[in-house]
Structure 1
Amino acid sequence: MPLYWRVCLINGLVFVVGTAALALAPVTVSATVLVSEAVVLVLGLVGIVVLNSVLLRTSLAPLDRLIRLMDTVDLQRPGRRLPESGTGAVGQLVRGFNAMLERLETERGRSNAKALAAQEAERHRIARELHDEIGQGLTAVLLGLKQLSSGVPAAVQLQLMEVQETARATLDEVGGVARRLRPGVLEDLGLQSALASLATDFSSHGMHVRRATSPGLPELGSERELVIYRVAQEALTNAARHSNARTVRLSLQRQGMAVILAVEDDGTGLRGAEEGTGIHGMRERALLIGAELTVGPGESGTAVRLTVPLEAGR
């Protein structure tokens, strides 16, 4: 039944009940309304209003729940649905909204997967160009400076050595950027070695990273390992850039049927700030593998926790 006719039917039913009650009740109204008659009329009116409001609230309650869900829906936290009940217009609206959320989450997951795959491919291309072109160019500059330094006066040799040190530091920085863009150690040696290398890189920049991994972790597959690595990389980057952390604890452990990555720092915390693009990117990556990401206050700073479910039999 359409919602309009349902409301009309409810109101009509209430009026019929009120009319029947007044017709059958042994009460009358005098030309001059008495106090007792006024009390009966007021009670009858209150009863009609209450009955009407209860019936309408019961009928329209799914609409209120739908409005609240629409105000709070977040496609980065999928799975929220309204209970589907009834066969009327409201029930059809709720089922249609749930189906729309399902389609949006599916399409968003596909588009995010394509976007992240393209992003990884672009990172690999940039890393390869940094290594093959800029890295080789800087190496050639270092060799040329070394040859020049052997046939120049001592004063000029000192200046050339300073230029060499600058070029060598630049070459190391380019190599570090290339490794962060394309974690070759992840492909060659596995996730635990890649996390160890990542912790070493950040520890060399003034932030102490304590690493703890449980032995005998199951095989996760290249896609899951890449997501875990990128989430750990982004969490460490945020701790270094935004939280002024001195110590960060990085752990990867198995708990039941899940592998949990935890990154907790001793910095200033979120302090009520809105989530930035880095955290949004971590959430998008977590959705790709069906993992759950939580970001919130830790014991002293910010705690990032990624829960990756394992397949049956692992």
Structure 2
Amino acid sequence: MTSGMRLPLYWRVCLINGLLFVVGTMALAFLPVTVSARVLVSEAIVLVLGLTAIVGLNSLLLRTSLAPLDRLVRMMDEVDLQRPGQRLPEGRSGVATKLVRSFNAMLTRLETERGTSNAKALAAQEAERHRIAQELHDEIGQSLTAVLLGLKRLSDRVPAELADEFRLVQETTRAGLDEVREVARRLRPGVLEDLGLHNALAALATEFSSHGMRVRRVSSPGLAPLAPETELVIYRVAQEALTNAARHSGATEVEVSLLRQGNHVVLGVEDNGRGFRGGAEGGIQEGAGMRGMRERALLVAGELRIGPGQRGGVRVELRVS
């Protein structure tokens, strides 16, 4: 890089303008051009053309120097760390090259630090879910089970006039125990650890089908085993997508697919609901659940796409290697 390219922007602008004024002065000094006391039309034309040339050349030189700064400002306004890989072209030389290179390096550092912090936060979140699920199962679940056994032993000694109320207490306790087990199961997908990803997704489909929404599964046979953290991300993204479809979309049908496409495994969750109205990407307003899905995808270097589906609803697609 030449020494001129290392000059601060202020001095670059001064040199450009100074050079143009020197050229104009030299032209007036050495060219056979004069200006009468009363400016003639031909002289006015020469002056206008000269001024236009100076202003145009000055604008061109300044635009060349400052255009990378405009691109940098736009990138600062639009950059989203949840969509990594956004970079500005650095070029070989120019006053803004060093600034653009530093900005790109900063983005790389921020993406790395964000990925590391997200990984730690989500690992802590999974560990906390595991602990809470274990406590629900071992403490509250066992306590409710003991209450149910005690109520069963007392059932033969309950007066007839209290029998209906007693059965209501039994059913309420049993329903509470079922809810505790369901919450624990959602917090810690034991089926994923014990039976694998396909069976875990099948269990998810069965669970949400019982809520009045038909869930259809499609999968490629013989998928190669994935890393445990990748399987967990796929499971959590599918779980969140199904939850969104059940709560917000008004869908009656959802398709959950897990397919091999080249060197990638692709999870797709597509519903036939009302879709999204207004928002950023593809008309979608992203909430905490979607941002959480994106953060999980980044942990395994995956690519998450959320957009309109072919049946009018929403399609969530996660692509991992």
User: What TM-score do the two structures reach when normalised by structure 1?
Assistant: 0.95
- Give the root-mean-square deviation of aligned CA atoms: 1.4
After superposition, where does 1:58-137 map in structure 2 within 5 Å?
58-137=64-143
Deviation at 1:15, TM superposition (A): 1.5
Equivalents in 2 of 1:70, 1:64: separation in Å? 10
* Contact 1:2–1:88 (8 Å) recurs in 2: no
Moved more, 37-46 or 107-116: 37-46
Q: How many residues align?
A: 309
- Offset from partner CA, 1:119-158 (integer Å, 9 cap, x none): 0000000000111111111111111111111122333222
Equivalents in 1 of 2:277, 2:41: separation in Å? 63
Percent identity, please.
73
Equivalents in 2 of 1:181, 1:95: separation in Å? 44
Aligned: 1:265 with 2:276: no
- Offset from partner CA, 1:142-189 (integer Å, 9 cap, x none): 111111111223332222222222221221111111111000000010
Match of 1:167 among 153, 159, 173: 173
Aligned: 1:301 with 2:307: no
Aligned: 1:7 with 2:19: no
Deviation at 1:20, TM superposition (A): 2.8
Partner of 1:289: 300
Match of 1:215 among 206, 209, 221: 221
Deviation at 1:276, TM superposition (A): 0.8
Moved more, 121-130 or 90-99: 90-99
Unaligned runs of 5+ in 1: 310-314
The amino acid across from 1:282 in the alignment is M
Equivalents in 2 of 1:3, 1:211: separation in Å? 60
- Offset from partner CA, 1:45-83 (integer Å, 9 cap, x none): 111101000001111111111111111111111111111
The amino acid across from 1:210 in the alignment is R
The amino acid across from 1:198 in the alignment is L
Equivalents in 2 of 1:103, 1:267: separation in Å? 40
Equivalents in 2 of 1:130, 1:3: separation in Å? 64
- Offset from partner CA, 1:199-255 (integer Å, 9 cap, x none): 111111222211111111111110100000000001111111121222111111011
Partner of 1:145: 151
Deviation at 1:260, TM superposition (A): 0.5
Moved more, 235-244 or 181-190: 235-244
Match of 1:193 among 195, 199, 222: 199
Moved more, 69-78 or 168-177: 168-177
Equivalents in 1 of 2:304, 2:30: separation in Å? 65
The amino acid across from 1:51 in the alignment is L
Deviation at 1:31, TM superposition (A): 1.2
User: What TM-score do the two structures reach when normalised by structure 2?
Assistant: 0.93
Deviation at 1:16, TM superposition (A): 2.0
Equivalents in 1 of 2:212, 2:160: separation in Å? 36
Moved more, 292-301 or 18-27: 18-27
Moved more, 291-300 or 19-28: 19-28
Moved more, 245-254 or 116-125: 245-254
Moved more, 17-26 or 233-242: 17-26
SS of the counterpart of 1:150? helix
